Amino acid sequence: MSAASQLGADDNEVSQRQGLLYAFAAYGIWGVAHIYFVWVGFAGPLEILMHRALWSVPLLVLLITATGQWSAARSLSRRELLILLATALCLSTNWLTFIWAIQAQRIADASLGYFINPLINILLGWLFLRERMRALQWFAVFVAFAGVSIELWLQRSMPWLGLTLALSFGFYGLLRKQVKVPAAVGLWVETTVMLPIALLFLVWLIGHEGLRPVAQVMQLALGGLISVVPLVFFSAAALQLPLATLGFVQYLSPSCALLLAVFLFNEPVQEARWVTFGFIWSALIIFTAENVYDSRKPRRALRSNGAYGKGAGPNFRWLGPEHRMD
């Protein structure tokens, strides 16, 4: 095996680890974001959405300037701009639905949507990206599907709210995976698309209801930070991880929401729901353990054969051509 092959294996392994760190950071922040939206409950969902778009743009401009990424923004093709217009629609739909769910005290329905989303991601990855999974990974999918099915059965109705959240964010992840630009640049285009609508709405709102106190405006301005940081992490993770892997890490977000509901907001949780979480956490353990084991195969092969030894090259099955962005 050549030194170039060894470097390639190391680079891919580092990329996977970085992608997982970005994904855990994104979903961890989203998991505790409920606290913020309860804190700004004095404003309506649409007003909060418009403030998120308004304050995200200057933060992203500063970030892009500091990292010298304006050349990537200027080099966007017409196709990439059209894709980012579509992702802006998916993103605004997801944001508005999520905020409304929290303020309407339908956090359980919102959590259901984020439990469904990984299954949507797997389906979209299989349909559009030809992402394939190994036997143990499919078993993890089956376990997670069983847990989500229990939740669906408990609802005893079509969960339109959850499906809206799952589909909007599933297609957002799928489309963002097609645009090879820095995460901050992509998000800047998306929020800039929302900016004119946000400004018109806020001007209209001020004309009808007057200016809010400075303290409340500052609270709403923090929505930009809450929006930018996890989405930059998510977009970076989407470029480095298979869509199916990205989807499974998402279970971290509703799990955090459950812990907050129980220990911070003192919300009662039915025993059946603990069963659902048990299925989902079991699936996460199976899926993650399998990925860790398989990702170490190239390194074990290098150690057994030597960097220049004979034998089969590193096993890139879970980083095969159907999973890479190049």
Question: Do residues 286 and 136 touch, judged by C-beta distance below 8 A?
Answer: yes
Residue 213: CA count within 13 A, CB half-sphere? 6
pLDDT of residue 199: 95
Q: What is the pLDDT of residue 311?
A: 41
Cα 84 to Cα 69: distance, rounded to the nearest angstrom: 17
Give the separation between CA 186 and CA 305, rounded to whole angstroms: 42
> pLDDT value at position 305?
58
* pLDDT value for 36: 92
Q: What is the pTM of this model?
A: 0.74
Pairwise CA distance, residues 220 & 214, whole Å: 10
10 Å Cβ neighbour count for 4? Answer: 8
Residue 188, pLDDT score: 94
The span from the CA of 143 to the CA of 206, in Å, is: 50
Answer whether 298's CB lies under 8 Å from 314's CB: yes
For residue 163, give both structure tokens.
């499906």
**Separation between Cα atoms, residue 244 and residue 137, nearest integer Å:** 10
- Written as six digits, the tokens of 195 are 């900016």
Q: Which residues of the chain have pLDDT under 50?
A: 307-326
Give the DSSP letter of residue 241: S
Q: What is the pLDDT of residue 280?
A: 76
pLDDT in tens, 251-300: 788 878 777 777 887 777 677 767 777 887 788 788 778 767 776 665 55
Q: How many residues does the chain have?
A: 326
Determine how many CB atoms are found less than 10 A away from the CB of residue 176.
24
Say what the pLDDT of residue 322 is. 35
Rounded CA-CA distance 277/171 in Å is 25
C-alpha triplet 288, 262, 230: angle, nearest 5°: 50
Return the pLDDT at 3: 53
